[in-house]
Structure 1
Amino acid sequence: MRPRLSGDLRRANRVEVMRSFYGGRTLTRADVAGQLGVSVATAGTIIAELTAAGLLEETESTKSAGGRPASRLRMRASAPYLIGVDLAETYVVAEIFDQAMNRIGHFQTEVAPSDNDPESVVGHVVDCVEGVITALDGVGAADVAGVGVSLPGQVDREAGICLHAPNWGWHGVPFRALFQRRSPLPVLLDNPLKAITLAEMMFGDAGDHDDAVVVNLGTGVGLGVVAEGRLLRGRTNSAGEWGHTVLVADGLACHCGSRGCVEAYVGAAALLDLLSEVDPDSPLLVPGDQAGTVARLAEAVGRADPVAVATLERFARPLGMALGNAVNMLNPELLVIGGWVSRAFGEPLLAAVAPVVKEYSLAVPYDAVTIAASHIADDPVSLGMAVLAFETFVLP
């Protein structure tokens, strides 16, 4: 275990202080001290450093127990700006935020799943980054402190390399270097499981729970883990690859090269396959168009279309089984279901899957967990990546 140096500890404390202000919160020094478990004097010292750096500002005062007004603080909603990129198998979303994490711009492009050459994918990302900047009056690249890009695979954050993206067949792609050939902006990489979980911790329901699981349902699937109030990364940043745990021995082929993976049964492609099995001639199905088909399917579920309802019920079986495994293994207080597939269906997906989770969970951990849909309105992956960019490129 690497010893934590005093400089590491000081920076970790600054990160924790800033995180306490996300979501538009206004806090006193005593509030911050209580949340971090440090003295008011220590909290005051950290806050003074962050205020001097232009990251916090004083706002209204509030009465304290001693009668003397205590000033409240908040994050400064100003430049420099941060860009979070949600790079998925079928789309690229770039969103720009001020340093208080208010979203001020959005740019999106659709990408064919077969368009997965690394140079081409990087080009799409750079185009979206430039597009979201250009769309804002009075904002240029010089006003952007950095970019956080989420890649759908395993990432070496230090080296800036995509180690493995199974749906694209990538191995050892030097993504950061390819990006920096095309753009002068600083960039960092992570994967969507970490980004979406961080967003839920800072802006969603997971922040109120010490132990939580955040599920990402899309073309690929995975989950993020909050353990004792902290994001669990694992030794190689690979914690949460639940999508590539085996649900059915010798089952369906998965893009990762294995068989029977959770993703092979609950990824977006599997949902399209289920629809085709229920009704091969369904007008809801457009082969190759995952997002469009899922949107039509979700709309049809909302009007109780029997084919759509049957498809969702069949989809809920393997999903509930896999989530039951996660509940048994991780014993969370909260299970948040997010990702673009979940956002498309909303409450009907939750209603279909919850009884299956109960069926495949042990009684004690199931009774301790609350299952909820994500309530973050913005793209949580972009938001989480912007937070990481802020903490990497702006926070002293």
Structure 2
Amino acid sequence: MAGRNGRTVRDLRRGNRTAVLHRLYFDGPLSRFELGPATGLSSGSVSNVVADLVADGLVEEAGSVDSDGGRPRTLLRVAPHSGQMIGVDVGETRVRVELFDLALTELARAERPLTRPGYDVDDITGHIRDGVAEVLAAEGARPERLLGVGVGVPGIVEHTADRGAVVHGQTIGWDAVPLERLLRATSGLPETVPYFIDNGAKTLGQAEMWFGAGRGARNALVVLFGSGVGACLVTPEVENGRAVEWGHLTVRVRGRRCRCGAPGCLEAYAGAESLLARWREEGGRPPEGTDEETTLTAMLAAAYPAGDAEPDPVALAVLEETAEYLGAGLSDLINLFQPERILIGGWAGLQLGTRFLPAVRRHAATYALRHPADRVTIELGRLGPDAVTVGAAILPLADFFTRGGRRAEPAPEDRP
């Protein structure tokens, strides 16, 4: 039966379950008494919802707390072992696959290095398939409790009715790759296990907003600084975030050629790949035969040597120029979106870390409008190099909570 606003009793129950799960997950353990004000539900509704969630194995007791003159109140929490999720990060140097429980405690991990240049579709799907099989074979894995597989990828992700998630990754040579369909065909997972595929910057933003430096912010931008650069915008209107192709903002007319093929993109100056290429072009001597992460470490050591050693002037100049490009690029985000916070993550952002941050802040303030620049803070993300993987795992978890702690319905075989 539907009410005047079109919501059925089933919708109300699902909404109540979602509210209780959210509060217990983010603020728990909590007592039934505390859940009322926290969710806005009546004591009777809280009791009914909690009873259902306990019966489903999603909520469990977590000790007790003394009350004022009465019986001790039982504390409740989301049961960590009641579900599991897989997060996948399709990165620039490796594919990382991790298995988590409901509390996002890592249960198993697999990594597959990208040994061949480029992003061969068969290689990537094979690495994901093998990584998923490896973590599910680990001790503690419970395939029947798997809520879904989240995957963070470079590029624009289009969700279609007939092919699932399709990836348009111009910088990696992917043109409308039906990644979800390919993974479904090769992974061997049951049809009941959903895939959630999205841009890697968005999964990074999801993780930082849930558990990292973005908690409590209404408006934030989370920047992924790796071989290239991207960003995720989170606002009250876009609560789960929207990927922004910030790296392909034009910062220099007729400038350096970007990986996407266009001239003058921010990524052609601020991404780690271009940063290292410019060091080499200017006469620097990066180590041969190493990956980007190792080479960037060597560049930082050359520019900021320990002790009284002389810095490499070329490495130092390129890094300082890159900081200015990043700051100028952030100023555009500040002027366009006026966020409360900007958080910088990604392996290159974390490597450059606090040494880079003061210069980036200074340049952002120089290029941005004064009023929004005065109101924004620019910080590093807090979740480290696994943030994209954690954010990818959050995608099925968030969907599970939205459904009130009920699993997604299996897709019909004859999808439109």
Would you say same fold, with TM above 0.5? yes
Q: 1:364 aligns with which of 371, 383, 386?
A: 371
- Whether the 8 Å contact between 2:206 and 2:240 is mirrored in structure 1 is no
- How many residue pairs get aligned? The number is 387
Q: For residues 9 and 88 of structure 1, do their structure 2 counterparts lie closer, same or farther at Cα, with a shift above 3 Å needed?
A: farther
The 10-residue stretch of structure 1 (383-392 or 140-149) with the greater mean CA deviation from structure 2: 140-149
Is the radius of gyration larger for structure 1 or structure 2? 2
Q: How much has 1:170 moved relative to structure 2?
A: 1.2
Q: For residues 368 and 123 of structure 1, do their structure 2 counterparts lie closer, same or farther at Cα, with a shift above 3 Å needed?
A: same
Instruction: Give the whole-Å Cα distance in 2 for the aligned partners of 1:202 and 1:128.
Output: 25
- Whether the 8 Å contact between 1:212 and 1:335 is mirrored in structure 2 is yes
The 10-residue stretch of structure 1 (357-366 or 156-165) with the greater mean CA deviation from structure 2: 156-165
Q: 1:201 aligns with which of 199, 209, 220?
A: 209
Instruction: Give the whole-Å Cα distance in 1 for the aligned partners of 2:279 and 2:206.
Output: 33
Correspondence list, 1:109-188, <5 A: 109-112=112-115, 114-134=117-137, 136-137=138-139, 139=141, 141-142=143-144, 144-157=146-159, 159-185=163-189, 186=193, 187-188=195-196
Q: How much has 1:106 moved relative to structure 2?
A: 1.9
Q: 1:192 aligns with which of 196, 200, 205?
A: 200
Q: How much has 1:338 moved relative to structure 2?
A: 0.5
Instruction: Give the whole-Å Cα distance in 1 for the aligned partners of 2:297 and 2:182.
Output: 33
- Whether the 8 Å contact between 1:162 and 1:172 is mirrored in structure 2 is yes
Alignment match, 1:53 = 56
The 10-residue stretch of structure 1 (198-207 or 144-153) with the greater mean CA deviation from structure 2: 144-153
CA deviations on 1:244-288 (whole Å, 9 max, x unpaired) are 22222332222333322222221121111232244x242x34477
Q: For residues 121 and 24 of structure 1, do their structure 2 counterparts lie closer, same or farther at Cα, with a shift above 3 Å needed?
A: farther
SS in 2 for 1:252: coil
Alignment match, 1:258 = 262
Q: Does 1:231 align with 2:239?
A: yes
SS in 1 for 2:98: strand
- Whether the 8 Å contact between 2:350 and 2:384 is mirrored in structure 1 is no
Could you tell me which amino acid in structure 1 is paired with residue 262 of structure 2?
S
Instruction: Give the whole-Å Cα distance in 2 for the aligned partners of 1:268 and 1:288.
Output: 14
Alignment match, 1:321 = 328
SS in 2 for 1:78: helix
Alignment match, 2:348 = 341
Q: How much has 1:326 moved relative to structure 2?
A: 0.7
Q: Does 1:210 align with 2:210?
A: no
Could you tell me which amino acid in structure 2 is paired with residue 247 of structure 1?
V
SS in 2 for 1:139: coil
Alignment match, 1:102 = 105
Could you tell me which amino acid in structure 1 is paired with residue 292 of structure 2?
Q
Structure 2: give runs of 5+ residues left out of the alignment.
407-416
Instruction: Give the whole-Å Cα distance in 2 for the aligned partners of 1:91 and 1:256.
Output: 21
Structure 1: give runs of 5+ residues left out of the alignment.
none
Q: For residues 348 and 140 of structure 1, do their structure 2 counterparts lie closer, same or farther at Cα, with a shift above 3 Å needed?
A: same
SS in 1 for 2:298: helix
- Whether the 8 Å contact between 1:198 and 1:231 is mirrored in structure 2 is no
- Cα RMSD for the two superposed structures: 3.0
Instruction: Give the whole-Å Cα distance in 2 for the aligned partners of 1:263 and 1:324.
Output: 15
TM-score normalised by L of structure 1: 0.86
